[in-house]
Amino acid sequence: MVITIRELEEKDIPSCVEMTITSFPWTAYGLTAGQATKFFLERLSKQLVFVAENEGEVVGFIALKKNVLFANYIRRLVVSEKHRSLGIGSKLLTFVEELTLKEDHLPNVFLLTSTQNLRAITFYLRNNYQIIGKIKDFVDTGLDEYILWKSFGTINGLGKYH
Ligand SMILES: CC(C)(COP(=O)(O)OP(=O)(O)OC[C@H]1O[C@@H](n2cnc3c(N)ncnc32)[C@H](O)[C@@H]1OP(=O)(O)O)[C@@H](O)C(=O)NCCC(=O)NCCS
């Protein structure tokens, strides 16, 4: 398996929509195909969504919101169900971490994940993210989210505060 990571193209959207709306937590949140499609269309050609491709097939994606709290915020990360546990999610995370540090010159990456998403929490902890807080009743009453943060240095260390 040779995984290539590249920017999202319009032809990738149906695969990305399908893997999102069939995955927890979006199944529980009732995200529709129309809403998911809008999410990708709004981000086309903005270098905010990157896909993982294996032999011409899109097998995962990562979406960003840039420069929030001297960090890049990982807005969404999904690997298609049949390609999980092969290291693709970790590759997408590493790609974004390197982009954050080397291209955007920001020292932090963070994301939110449902407190019920135990596999994702394990995955992020293994990738050296730290749980730094919990937001209660975030998506709906009783649906809490953890804030997971990974730091590569201080703001001053990257000369960003001036
Ligand atoms: C979380 C996710 C992106 C991880 O991607 P991945 O390609 O499976 O990750 P890796 O192969 O690099 O790491 C796998 C590890 O992550 C964890 N993991 C997370 N989700 C898993 C799943 N559905 N099946 C198996 N392992 C999972 C396990 O600890 C696993 O370790 P293991 O392979 O030794 O069992 C992927 O499981 C996924 O798309 N889940 C559904 C959507 C989601 O929850 N996204 C994150 C929300 S913020």
Closest residue (by CA) to atom 28 of ligand 1?
A: 123
**Residue pointed to by tokens 């990708």:** 40
Contact between 135 and 145 under an 8 Å Cβ cutoff? The reply is: yes
pLDDT in tens, 74-107: 999 999 999 999 999 999 999 999 999 999 999 9
Superfamily of domain 3-158: Gcn5-related N-acetyltransferase (GNAT) (3.40.630.30)
Check residue 157 and give its pLDDT: 85
User: From ligand 1's centre to the CA of 122, what distance in Å?
Assistant: 8
Check residue 158 and give its pLDDT: 79
Distance CA(73)–CA(37), nearest Å, equals 20
pLDDT in tens, 105-120: 999 999 999 999 999 9
Contact between 160 and 70 under an 8 Å Cβ cutoff? The reply is: yes
Tokens of 24: 């927890």
Residues 6 or more apart in contact with residue 158 via CB below 8 angstroms: 105, 106, 107
Please state the domain extents for the chain.
3-158
Question: Measured from the CB, is residue 22 less than 6 Å from ligand 1?
Answer: no
How many CA atoms within 13 Å lie on the side-chain side of 96? 33
Tokens of 9: 């193209």
pLDDT in tens, 113-162: 999 999 999 999 999 999 999 999 998 999 999 999 999 999 888 776 65
75 CA to centre of own chain: 5
